[in-house]
Amino acid sequence: MAAQLPGSSRPAGGIYSGLGMPLIMPAWLCIGFFLLLPVAIMFVYSFLTKEFRGGVIWEFSTAAYDQFFFYRGLFGDEPRQLDWTYITIFARSIWQALVATILCFIIGFPTAWFIATRAGNSRSIWLFLITVPYWVNLLIRTISLKFLIRDQGPVNNWLISGGVIGEPIHMINTNFAVMLGLFYSYLPFMVLPIYASVERYNFALSEAAADLYSSRWTTLRYVVLPAVKPGIIAGCILVFVPSLGAFLAPDLLGGAKNFMIGSLIEEQFKGNAGNWPFGAAASMILLSLVLCVLIFYARAQTRENP
């Protein structure tokens, strides 16, 4: 998904005038009925009452949101006080997604720039090589990473046999592993949109800046970055949003102890908790967060191209 999404530009007219809506209707029905409606029902569920030992009762309750923000003590009879634990889980998820996004940018931007400045065939090959991992199963990539960084895994084994370290570096089941996993999972998502932006960048601008005695890095900072900003924002969103709700990386690499939003939600449906209303409420809160990010993005977009 490049900065300028295909199909988002103004239509040039066409021979099917008047058929627009009918042609899009199947998509409307499909997504409306099986995604919009479910999200609406999920919203309703977040206000239902949890049944003892799992299941829901059709009774209005704000208990799920109450549980999210407040703690009423072990016995539920203390005055309610703001509870930071779930907010912390969200904050931690946002933080980890943010770090992963920044890491992706640090590696992704130079890579995208480098690829976009290759000539014909070499560029195609580089682009192809970046695309391949994007098509490889995410689960398999996460498993590969888990295998690689465990205490007895190849990385530690090589470092130890190479005499670099004496004791294995404990990486698995730490926050670091989760961040690494997110970074690794979504790196191609950063490279591709930035590449699309840089490809369209007019290098004459850089030449002009150089003629005015701007240094390479000054040009990068004041000329190039603003010009390719839409690609960067698109890349950041494509890394940040899925990282925020990721399940595989925290579960497989984080040991399911340091919850992220994704694993917290999963626990409500698949784990011991069996608390559907709470899971629905947490999903709603996550969805709202993501929508905020997307609205911010859309506004930035319209500011760029009014």
The interface with another protein within residues 158-187 (CB under 8 A) comprises 168, 170, 172-174, 184, 187
Single residue of 94, 98, 102, 107 touching another protein by CB under 8 A? 107
- Spatial CA neighbour of 104 closest among 170, 193, 6: 193
Single residue of 52, 166, 167, 302 touching another protein by CB under 8 A? 52
Interface region with another protein, contact rule CB under 8 A, candidates 6-14, 159-167, 225-233: 6-14
Please give the residues from 250 up to 269 whose contact with another protein meets the rule CB under 8 A: 252, 255-257, 259, 261-262, 264-267, 269
- CA pair distance 243, 284, nearest whole angstrom: 17
Q: At residue 153, what is the residue type?
A: G
Give the total residue count for the chain: 306
Estimate the share of the chain in helix, then strand, then coil, as percent rounded to the nearest 5: 70, 5, 30
Q: Is 7 in the site for another protein (CB under 8 A)?
A: yes
Please give the residues from 270 up to 299 whose contact with another protein meets the rule CB under 8 A: 270-274, 276, 279-280, 283, 286-287, 290, 294
Q: Is 129 in the site for another protein (CB under 8 A)?
A: yes
CB 271, CB 250: distance < 8 Å = no
Q: What DSSP letter does each residue of 178-189 carry, written as one string?
A: HHHHHHHHHHHH
Please give the residues from 205 up to 224 whose contact with another protein meets the rule CB under 8 A: 206-207, 209-210, 216, 219-220
Single residue of 60, 76, 79, 167 touching another protein by CB under 8 A? 76
Q: What is the CA radius of gyration of the chain?
A: 24
Q: Which is nearer to another protein, 153 or 229 (CB)?
A: 153
Spacing of C-alpha 160 from chain mean position: 34
Single residue of 193, 231, 235, 245 touching another protein by CB under 8 A? 245
State the sign of the Cα–Cα–Cα–Cα dihedral 165, 166, 168, 174: negative
